[in-house]
Structures are given as C-alpha cells and as structure tokens.
Chain A
Amino acid sequence: MIKAQNLVKTFGSFTAVKDVSFEVATGEIFAFLGPNGAGKTTTIKMLTTLLRPTSGSIELDGLDPQRHQNEARRRFGIVFQDPSLDGDLTAWENMEVHGVLYHVPHKVRRPRIEELLKLFELWERKDDQVKKFSGGMKRRLEIARGFLHTPKILFLDEPTLGLDPQSRNQLWSHVKRVNETEKVTVFLTTHYMDEADRVAHRIGVIDHGKLVAQGTPKQIKEQTGTENLEDAFLALTGSTIRDESADSADQLRQMAKMWSGGRR
C-alpha cells in the first residue's frame, strides 16, 4: 500500500532523510519510531504530498503522489503532529469543512460527524469556537476529523501527544477497529513505545534520517537482545537527547500568542 524507495530529502546542506526504503502492506499498522528530529515528520510530509522528495520514489496504492496529487490525496487521511484546526470556527464547522474538502457526501456527513464528536466526547461543545478548547480537546477534535472520511491509508503523526490515558485508549481502540473492519492501512509515529508495541504489526526505527531497524516488535527486541521496546529503542538510537531548533514557524507562533493575548 505504501512503498518508499531510496527516499532522500535535503534542506540546504542539511539532510533530513537519507536513503530510506520501506514497504507497508495493505491492512498493516506500521509504527515509525525515532527520536526528535530524526526525520519522521519530514518522511510523512513527503508521503502526503506536502514536500517534494529530493530523490527517491514513493508509491501510495500504486500512485506516485507527486504526479497524481489529487488521486493520491483521496486515498489517505492524516492527523498532524502540530495543530491544524481553524480556531475561529466551531468544532462542528471544522468537521464540516473537512467533510466538504474530502468529498464526504452530504447525507453521510452529518450522522458521521455526530457519531465521531460523540465518540471523542466533544458533542456538548460542538458549537463552541475551537480557540476556546483545551489542548486535549483540540487534539481529540483533530483525531475525530481524521476519521471523518474513510481513507485507505491513515497517517497519524504523534497523535497521542498531550492526550490523557482515557482518550489515548479511545483512540487506539478506534484505530484498531477501523484497521480490522475496514482494512485501513495505518502509518503512525509516536514517542510512547508501549503504544507502538501494543498496536503496531511492524516497526521501523529511524535515527539521523536513516532507517536503522525494521521488523515486527518481537523481531526488533530479539535483534537488540532486549526485554521491551523502550530498551530496544534506546539500544538502537543511543541515549543522548536531541534538540530540534526552533524554526520560523515556532517563532511566529510565539509572536501570535503575544498579539492575541494567548487565546489561540
């Protein structure tokens, strides 16, 4: 379903992704793990048509996302790592805009939005502007939105960041459900190794832009001779802490916070 071959992405002199190749089969849950700044999000951006790879090739359901952008976009849904909601619109309106953009037919749209908002316990607040939501609620809304259309491939970029255990549980059981009943292929990243261990069929570990290990959770643990995935992860990627430099987006976000009195 997803096929990446010798994927490379450079930003100026910095190489974010170095020669990464992997395949994800239809109906598989694939966890893409790595420390901060390892190249996870860059890889997802290339897979989801937001960035052009410097070299290498990608196939989504047999399509090249660069050449058949809209066809490829029809096939996937994505929950981004950082917020992508419109704070001035209400929860319902955010869902509605998404539904229209993803061609969810009018008749299916309303009951489905209602179902998802109820599932993620946002129904009572559906008519409130999103900027008034807490961090966890915004996160839940983003996730609910990702499930609104039924994609063939679901990308989840650190979906559980900032979620309480209840919502996390809700999320993973829903992911498993759509994976089992609708054969949705899932490509996820997370920093919580126990989650990856629990839901993923296969795992890829990326560090410094390079894929350093690939296999089932069991294989990875055996390969590194460790008891659990956390230790396996540390054995593969070392224990030094990585820093991501603040980019202009972060700086601007800070400025915006100052201007709007921290409302957003």
Chain B
Amino acid sequence: MSAIYILWLRELKRYTRSRAQIVASLGQPVLYLLVLGFGLGPVFRRAGSGDYLQFVGPGVIGMTILFSSIFSGLGLLWDRQFGFLKETLVAPVPRLQIMIGKTLGGATVSVIQGLLVTIVCVLAGFRPANLWLVPIAIGFMAAIAVVFAALGMALGSSLQDMQGFQLIMNFLVMPIYFLSGALFPLTGLPVALAFLTRLDPLSYGIDGLRTMLLHQPPFQPAFHVATNIAVLLCVAVAFLIAGAWRFSKIEI
C-alpha cells in the first residue's frame, strides 16, 4: 500500500512543481471554450439547441481530462528515458502496485486539471444547472480520468520510444476526442457516425457530465445515466487489466 501511496504522491509533486506546464496545458481548452463557445454560439442558438457555451463547457472539461490522463500514462516513456522507471522496476514491490500508484497519480492530476478548467468555464459564463449534482459530475471526471490514465499506461508500457507518439495522438487521442460528442450533440446523427460515437468510451463520460451539469431541455442526454456509469466502470476495469498486463511485461 505504501508503494502505491508514494508513487501517487510523486505524480502529484511533479505536477505541482511544473507551473509552466499547468498554465500551458490550460491554453488549448481555453481556446476551444472561448473561440468555439462564442464563435458557434449564434448558429447553435438559431438551431434551437440553447447556449453553446453551456453545451461545450463539459466537453472541454472532458477533453482536458482525456489529454492529461493519456499523457500521464505516456509519461512512462520519459521515466524510461530518464531511468526512473528502472529504479521502480527493480524494487521489491509487485508491478501491479507500481502501475496502480502511477495510474491513480495520473488520474488525480487529470481531475485537478479538469477542475481548473471548470473554474475557467465558470469565469467565461458557464453555470451548472444544479449545484447539488456537481459532486456527481466530479465523480464522472474521476471515472474518465481513470479510464484514460489506464489506457495511457497500457500504451506507454508498449512503446519503446517517442516515435509512436504522433501515431497515438492522431489515430487514437484525436478520434476519441472528436467522436465523443464533446463539440456536438450525439442525438440525431447519421447512422455510421452514431455507431462510432457509441464505441468511444469518452462519449459516455461527457454525456454523464452534461447530464449532471446542464439544464434539460434544451440538452437531451444520449444515454441513460446508469448506462454511462456502467460503461465507464467496465471500460475502466478492462483498461486497468490491460495496463497492468502490459506493464508487467516491460523489459529494459
């Protein structure tokens, strides 16, 4: 247990010490929020779907958590290069504990990052519909963070170096983001696109976030809340197993 704790703490310390990185990683979500939020707002309203800034807020929060948690897993590549990974791999601690400590650390950092973006959203004019549901929304953030931190660990354990990084970015992370409905409603889509969005675990996370944070109507949830929770939990378990398995196979 203490190994999980110390590795979790390490991720947190690294995060709080890289202030420049914290500010830099807020840049992209702010851009999406402000430019899309205000840019597409008039069209969205004319379509009768309400305020786009309100709609895109949870999407941008989900995006932040997705990126931050996948990158935390890929941070394994840096640990590999700077050698710290070796230090943990020869320690007399089951690799499962090491993997869990790092995954939870990455997920915690991602949730903090998500909360920072939530604050930015509120400053930009975003208002949660019901404050009592905000803690449940944070639960959804945590679920998204664990799912993708575990996926990041599985990927980070499988890659030898940064060569595969662009590949993962363009063919995995960006599609997950764009297909998740972060930017557009998942209802009334063409069949093929609707099918793809249902394969994307982030869809259920962002839909859950919106269900907790937005007024209904104008927002219509694409899935039942129970479906959202069930899918996220199953995917989290599957990715954690995959991550633990890949991590146990690392050779240096």
Q: How far is the CA of A23 from the CA of B161 in the complex (A)?
A: 36
Chain B residues 73 to 94 lying within 8 A of chain A, measured CB to CB, are 77-78, 80-84, 86-94
Partner of A97, one of B10, B18, B86: B10
Chain B binder among A24-32, A43-51, A159-167, A179-187: A43-51
In the assembled complex, B14 has its CB within 8 A of some CB on chain A: yes
Task: Give 1 or 0 for each of A54-86: 1 = CB within 8 Å of chain B CB.
Answer: 000000000000000011011010101011111
With both chains docked as a complex, state the minimum distance between the C-beta of B129 and any C-beta of chain A, in angstroms.
40
B18 in contact with A50 (CB, 8 Å): no
Q: Is the interface of B mostly helix, strand, loop or mixed?
A: helix
In the assembled complex, A98 has its CB within 8 A of some CB on chain B: yes
In the complex, what residue of chain B is closest to A77 when comparing beta carbons?
Answer: B90
Check A83/B83 contact, CB under 8 A, given A51-B251, A70-B94, A88-B13: yes
Q: How many residues of B contact A (CB 8 A)?
A: 32
Check A51/B252 contact, CB under 8 A, given A102-B91, A252-B161, A256-B81: yes
In the complex, what residue of chain B is closest to A101 when comparing beta carbons?
Answer: B91
With both chains docked as a complex, state the minimum distance between the C-beta of A219 and any C-beta of chain B, in angstroms.
32
A50 in contact with B86 (CB, 8 Å): yes
Residues of B within 8 A of A102 (CB): 91-92
Chain B residues 146 to 181 lying within 8 A of chain A, measured CB to CB, are 160-163
Chain A residues 126 to 141 lying within 8 A of chain B, measured CB to CB, are 129
A73 in contact with B92 (CB, 8 Å): yes
Check A89/B92 contact, CB under 8 A, given A82-B83, A98-B87: no
Residues of A within 8 A of B252 (CB): 45, 50-51
Q: How far is the CA of A171 from the CA of B87 in the complex (A)?
A: 20
A89 in contact with B10 (CB, 8 Å): yes
Residues of B within 8 A of A52 (CB): 251
In the assembled complex, B241 has its CB within 8 A of some CB on chain A: no
Partner of A84, one of B87, B92, B93: B87
B3 in contact with A100 (CB, 8 Å): yes
Residues of A within 8 A of B6 (CB): 96-97, 100-101
Q: Which residues of A contact B (CB under 8 A)?
A: 45, 48-52, 70-71, 73-74, 76, 78, 80, 82-89, 93, 96-98, 100-103, 129, 248-249, 251-253, 255-256, 264
